[in-house]
A = this chain, B = another copy of it.
Amino acid sequence: MALIVHKYGGTSMGSTERIRNVAKRVAKWARAGHQMVVVPSAMSGETNRLLALAKELAPSKTTDAYGRELDMLAATGEQASSALLAIALQAEGLESVSYAGWQVPIRTDSAYTKARIASIDDTRVRVELVAGKVVIVTGFQGLDELGNITTLGRGGSDTSAVAVAAAMKADECLIYTDVDGVYTTDPRVVPEARRLHTVSFEEMLEMASMGSKVLQIRSVEFAGKYKVKLRVLSSFTPWDIDINIEAASGTLITFEEDQHMEQAIISGIAFSREEAKISVLGVPDKPGIAYQILGAVADANIDVDVIIQNISRDGKTDFSFTVNRTDYAKTVDLLKDKVLPSLGAQEVVGDTKICKVSIVGIGMRSHVGVASKMFRVLSEEGINIQMISTSEIKTSVVIDEKYMELAVRALHKAFELEQVPV
């Protein structure tokens, strides 16, 4: 008998018919002898519906001003879906009980709409499990020190599930979603993309941050920190398949290096069209310039991704970085108005028609020549590389966005990702 956490996304909870299927799946696991904790998202569309009502009432204000009330509002979506799932499980003949985040409680800080989990008291949940019940815990939400409801931000239910699994030392946390695992790249771009049976925590982190969108990045960090055995799988496979087959499906996220000994050097190719690049040209090369430029950007709450500074020539250097495309104009204005004059730099230039393509693989650590192979492949396709950034297990390039699909397909083929590694 194991302690298992299931997490179901909004699409999986999207109708009473689907909730019934979730209940049947959970019932199957419970009847196989497992202690079950289930973390559901709100029914798909519900969170957007609620936030749209708030937007209608306060069109001119930022969400920050209403953070507390937005969380109060949005948290109802998961509370309702959790109660519905408990009812569906009872209709299946199982004893079941739902707990809102504040009832567990899942304690968080007070950063409304993007709170972070501080601690989880699992006493009540354990008591219910020992009493033989399936316990539903609302995803996405918690309770701050002052007794206010908080939410964890978009995708926060993944984090809730992993955090509950960590707090309870669950044997496995299964994230049921609308894809059946993590792929070598997006199958819509490369039809030959292959589902990975396992992917390392570090690779998953790099894939998630690159927009693979299978799991919220914070949930993966959490799983890594607390060594939660995490599996991503589809809730749209029939619920009545053999439980052993289901338990081995999807993609397992692993944390031990030795499991990767026989794996391919590269696990996948991530890409993102959501960034823009900005360069500050002719910056006097003296200590503190990076801080002068990026400090101002950070103060304006703009996230920076790739950062590049090359060697200087004639005492001047060029400083480049990428930001989210929606922050592009704001960032350029900020640099021109506030930074350029005091910095004595030449000018600010930029481009929004770019994309970032990354090869990710834990094997890169011990294999030289992976990055150079990537550059060769792109060169053979006639694709000019605008920026390069590398980490231990990832090499990213910024290129013209019109070449994105071409680059991803060529790299997928060159690294033979469609083949199962021997």
Instruction: Tell me the A residues contacting B by CB distance below 8 Å.
Output: 16, 19-20, 23, 50, 53-54, 56-58, 60-61, 65-66, 68-70, 72-73, 75-77, 79-80, 82-84, 86-88, 90-91, 96-98, 100, 102-103, 124, 147-149
Contact check, A87 vs B66: say whether CB atoms are below 8 A apart: yes
Chain B residue numbers with a CB within 8 Å of A73 are 79-80, 83-84, 87
Q: A61-B91, A98-B72, A147-B103 are in contact. Are A16 and B56 (CB under 8 A)?
A: yes
Interface of A is mostly: helix
Q: Which residues of B contact A58 (CB under 8 A)?
A: 87-88, 90-91
A57 contacts B100, C-beta separation under 8 Å: no
Complex: chain B residue closest to A149, CB-CB: B100
Tell me, rounded to whole Å, the shortest Cβ–Cβ distance linking A82 to chain B: 7
Nearest opposing residue in chain B for A82, CB measure: B72
Within 8 Å by CB of A86, from B53, B69, B100, lies: B69
Partner of A54, one of B20, B84, B100, B148: B84
Cβ-closest chain B residue relative to A71? B83
**How far, in Å, is A156 (CB) from chain B's closest CB?**
17
A90–B60 Cα distance when bound, in Å, is 11
Q: Distance in Å from the Cβ of A133 to the closest Cβ of chain B?
A: 11
Q: Which of B16, B68, B72 contacts A57, CB < 8 Å?
A: B16
Contact yes or no, B61 A16, CB < 8 A: no
Complex CA gap A50/B70 in Å reads 20
> With A53-B16, A54-B84, A147-B103 in contact, do A61 and B90 touch (Cβ < 8 Å)?
yes
A86: chain B residues at CB < 8 Å are: 66, 69, 72
Q: How far is the CA of A20 from the CA of B54 in the complex (A)?
A: 11
A390 CA to B226 CA in the complex, in Å?
72
Closest chain B residue to A58, Cβ basis: B91
A70 near B57 with CB under 8 A, answer no
| Structural contact, B16 and A80, CB atoms closer than 8 A | no
| Bound complex: CA A19 to CA B54 (Å) | 11
- CB-based contact B87/A79 at 8 Å: no
**What's the least CB distance linking A65 to chain B, in Å?**
7
Measured in the bound complex, the distance between the Cα atoms of B50 and A82 in whole Å is 12
Residues in B with CB closer than 8 Å to A57 are: 16, 19-20, 23, 84, 87-88, 91
Select A83's contact among B19, B69, B80, B82, beta carbons within 8 Å: B69
- Nearest first, the 7 A-B pairs at minimum CB distance are A73-B83, A76-B76, A72-B83, A58-B91, A16-B56, A57-B88, A69-B86
- Contact partners of A61 in chain B: CB under 8 A: 90-91
**Contact (Cβ within 8 A) B90 A72:** no
- Bound-state CA distance A70–B87 (Å) is 8
Residues of B within 8 A of A19 (CB): 57
Nearest residue, chain B, Cβ from A59? B91
List 15 extra interface pairs beyond A20-B57, A69-B83, A72-B82, CB under 8 A: A16-B57, A54-B83, A54-B87, A57-B84, A58-B87, A58-B91, A68-B97, A69-B87, A70-B83, A72-B83, A72-B86, A72-B98, A73-B79, A73-B83, A76-B79
Determine whether the beta carbon of B91 is less than 8 Å from that of A69.
Answer: no
A77 neighbours in B (Cβ, 8 Å): 76
Q: How far is the CB of A253 from chain B (nearest CB, A)?
A: 32
Contacts of A16 in B (CB 8 A): 53, 56-57
- Complex: how many Å from CA A83 to CA B148? 12
A54 to chain B, nearest CB (A): 5
A318 vs B47: C-alpha distance in the bound complex, in angstroms? 60
* Residues of B contacting A54 in the complex (Cβ-Cβ under 8 angstroms): 83-84, 87
How far is A53 from B75 in the complex, measured between Cα atoms in Å? Answer: 18
18 contacts between A and B (CB under 8 A): A16-B53, A16-B56, A53-B84, A54-B83, A54-B84, A57-B91, A58-B91, A66-B87, A66-B90, A69-B84, A69-B86, A70-B87, A72-B82, A76-B76, A76-B77, A76-B79, A76-B80, A76-B83
Chain B positions within 8 Å of A149 at CB level: 100
